[in-house]
Amino acid sequence: MSYAVERIAVAERTADLAPGRRTAAELRLDAEAILRRNWRLILATTVATLLFGLAFAVLTPAKYKSSAQLLVDPRGLQILKNDITRTPENADGNLVDVENQRYILLSRSILGAVVDHEKLAENDAFGGRAPGLMSRLFGAFGRPAVDRRTRAIQTLSDMVEVVRGERAYVLDVVVTSKDPDVSAKLANVIARTFLEAQIDARSDAAKRASEELSKRADDLRRQVQKAEKEVERFRAEHGLVQTATGRPLAEQQISDLSTQLGLVRGRIADAQARVDAVNKFRRSGQNVEALSEALNAPTIVSLRAQYAQAAQQAASLATQLGPRHPALMQAQEQARDARRLISAELDRIAEAARIDLARAKASEASLLKQSGAVRTVNDSDGSALVQLRDLERAAEANRVVYQSFLGRAKELGESQNIDTANARVISPAVPALKPAGAPASLILAGSLLFGLVLGSGLAYARERLDGAIRSRRDLAALTGLPILALLPLSAPAAKGKGELVPDQAAFRRLLARVRPEPRRGEKTVAFVGLAGDRTATEIIVTLAEYARWEKFDVAVVASGDTDKVAGALETKGRRVLGRGNVEVARLADISIGARAALRRFQQIVARADFVLVDAPAPIDDPDASVALDLADRIVLVLRAGNIDRAHLQATFDTLADYDDRLAGLVLVGDLPAA
């Protein structure tokens, strides 16, 4: 296989090893490799978490939870029309009010009342034991002492939790303690204390509001009295007498006179009509008896009846007696007398009408005179009346406000003992039958699972963060170069400190992959040792031995002591039969540029079929560039267990100019495949 073909194959294998293209089986192998390399860490972590979980399950005391359910309806009960507290107008406002009640349940005022009611400050579980000698000695230099009641409130606060139901007006008062009976009792006491506190708060609010309104009502009463006194004083100063109806006397008199004047004028009109009718009948010669007053007068009616009777009797006698008969004459005289009486009565009626008319006109004149006098007085008091009305309006406004405040204060005072809150315990707390929290089996199972996950995570982090190369797959993925040979080490190989074993098969495979390419004119191979020891030199010496077996004339450019290299070659070469020649040159002589050394090196290279260069690490030795410039191909020598990711990356950065000459890797020791 040519060098170019080999590099293409290597690139393809490297791409296949890229993490983004790994198959499920390869990923499983990676995980298994990580677990194999770090099983002690995973086991230790799992055991530690199991022990911690076991200690937690054994040492943690059992806790019991009891819950009392409260219904807190912010809308309340509509007992009074004007309650002192406002009711939220929407659902969100109601939920906010319920959330406020949750905070009230957890407040120090409620918990303090519970502590006082149950005497929890005297309980060592809540108030704490009396401080010992050491506590008293060191307490002076530490935090200030806390009284038992404050400590009991804090302890109770840590035990209580209030949970609001989702979109509900229900609050769960949850108490957690070591005693189920204590948990249930405290939950019920807290709920009862909260309800009592709500009643007291509403009563206190109503009482305070009533007291404030009463104080303000007293001020308003004084203002009303002052305003009324001002009205009376002003009325007295200006002689503005007021009637029983509250109107000024002048206005009332004008109104009464106007009414009387209207009545009198009605009488005048009636009397004038009667007089005019009588005069009209007399002027026209008509009988006055046709007037309605005459027809309806009782006297006229009686006289007309007498006249009719007398006339009838006279007519009857006239048919029976002679004209000068005394009886007839007497009857005729009676008729004439009745007629005269009727005429006299009609004259009296007409005269009465004239008298009534005159009297009515006199009354009208008198009323007009009185009305004029009263109006004159009223006009003179007009400006005073305007001021009086302003004072009366101000007094009336103060009176209305005073009555409103007084009524509201009375209403609030009476509502102090009325509970309008719609809050009650819908489910009292009962002692729990089993402790809260996870059982020991679940804790241990969780600890085991957590330990496995934590240990695996630590193992993965260790693999990724410590910078070590732990598998041949990681090495190939990082470098992009093929592993040309795996050279074994003698014990202790696990720590990467064993001696190189001249495995014949391994070195023959390596020789087959780096042997010269005569057609391309490539016969110089540089081995760059990155292990920091003489591993690369040992590989070159052993490889030269096997090259001589192939009857290659070999030249070795040593970066160290050439005598030792030559001696090693001579020692190994005694076992070589039918071998090629070997010559040794020193890299230092070539690097200083001595003409004789360069000439000798050129002669050696010209005679050799295969040139092996022992190149130092490029980031550690400045002569490395000289060795690399001589090479047609470059092979990196790595020692398993001593590969640092950062150092390897820095080496490749230094070899960036020689990237086209990099042939592959030689791994001394063993790494897992994945």
Q: For residue range 650-672, what is the model confidence (pLDDT) as tens digits?
A: 888 888 888 888 888 888 887 77
Are residues 576 and 449 part of one domain? no
State mean pLDDT over 258-262: 79
Please tell me which of 34-38, 128-132, 158-162, 410-414 the model is most confident about, judged by mean pLDDT. 158-162
Give the number of other Cβ atoms within 10 Å of residue 182's Cβ.
20
Counting the structural domains of the chain, the total is 4
Are residues 298 and 158 part of one domain? no
The model's confidence at residue 48, banded by pLDDT at 50, 70 and 90, is: very high
Are residues 179 and 105 part of one domain? yes
Are residues 127 and 110 part of one domain? yes
Residue 223 in any domain: the answer is no
Are residues 326 and 443 part of one domain? no
Cβ atoms of residues 485 and 510 within 8 Å? yes
Residue 573 has pLDDT above 50, yes or no: no
> What pLDDT score does 89 carry?
54
C-alpha dist (Å) from residue 413 to 87, 206, 212, 563: 20, 7, 11, 119
The model's confidence at residue 597, banded by pLDDT at 50, 70 and 90, is: low
Residue 553 in any domain: the answer is yes
Long-range contacts at 22-31 (CB < 8 A, ≥ 24 apart): 26/473, 26/674, 29/673, 29/674, 30/471, 30/473, 30/674
| Average pLDDT of the residues of the chain | 74
Are residues 185 and 71 part of one domain? yes
Residue 253 has pLDDT above 70, yes or no: no
> What pLDDT score does 576 carry?
44
Question: Is 253 exposed, middle or buried, given 0-12, 13-18 or 19+ CB atoms closer than 10 A?
Answer: buried
C-alpha dist (Å) from residue 523 to 186, 233, 532, 536, 608: 94, 138, 26, 18, 9
CA dihedral (457, 459, 460, 466) positive or negative: positive
Are residues 423 and 314 part of one domain? no
State mean pLDDT over 637-644: 80
CA dihedral (122, 124, 127, 128) positive or negative: positive
Helix ranges (H only) for 381-471 are 382-414, 440-465
Residue 18 has pLDDT above 50, yes or no: no
Residue 80 in any domain: the answer is yes
Are residues 535 and 655 part of one domain? yes
pLDDT tens, position by position, 498-517: 678 878 888 888 888 888 77
Residue 222 in any domain: the answer is no
As a whole number of angstroms, the distance between CA 604 and CA 457 comes to 57
Distance of CA 397 to the CA centre of its chain: 48
Two tokens, residue 69: 């359910």
Q: In terms of residue numbers, what domain contains 616? A: 467-668
Residue 96 has pLDDT above 50, yes or no: yes
**CATH code of the domain containing 194:** 3.30.1890
Residue 21 in any domain: the answer is no
As a whole number of angstroms, the distance between CA 311 and CA 321 comes to 15
Residue 626 in any domain: the answer is yes
The model's confidence at residue 91, banded by pLDDT at 50, 70 and 90, is: low
State mean pLDDT over 142-162: 80
Q: Is the pTM of this model over 0.75?
A: no
State mean pLDDT over 557-573: 64
Please tell me which of 171-180, 329-338, 595-604 the model is most confident about, judged by mean pLDDT. 171-180
State mean pLDDT over 619-643: 81
Are residues 107 and 48 part of one domain? no
The model's confidence at residue 322, banded by pLDDT at 50, 70 and 90, is: low
> What pLDDT score does 258 carry?
79
The residue with greater pLDDT, 28 or 208, is 208
- Please list the residues that pair with 161 across neighbouring strands: 174
Looking at 401, 427, 453, the residue that finishes a domain is 427
Are residues 450 and 482 part of one domain? no
Percent of the chain as helix, strand, coil, to the nearest 5: 65, 10, 25
Residue 410 in any domain: the answer is no
Are residues 152 and 51 part of one domain? no
> What pLDDT score does 300 carry?
60
**CATH code of the domain containing 578:** 3.40.50.300
> What pLDDT score does 285 carry?
46
> What pLDDT score does 317 carry?
73
Residue 278 in any domain: the answer is yes
Above pLDDT 70, what percent of the chain?
Answer: 70
pLDDT tens, position by position, 418-435: 655 667 888 898 988 888
Are residues 106 and 81 part of one domain? yes
Residue 346 has pLDDT above 70, yes or no: no
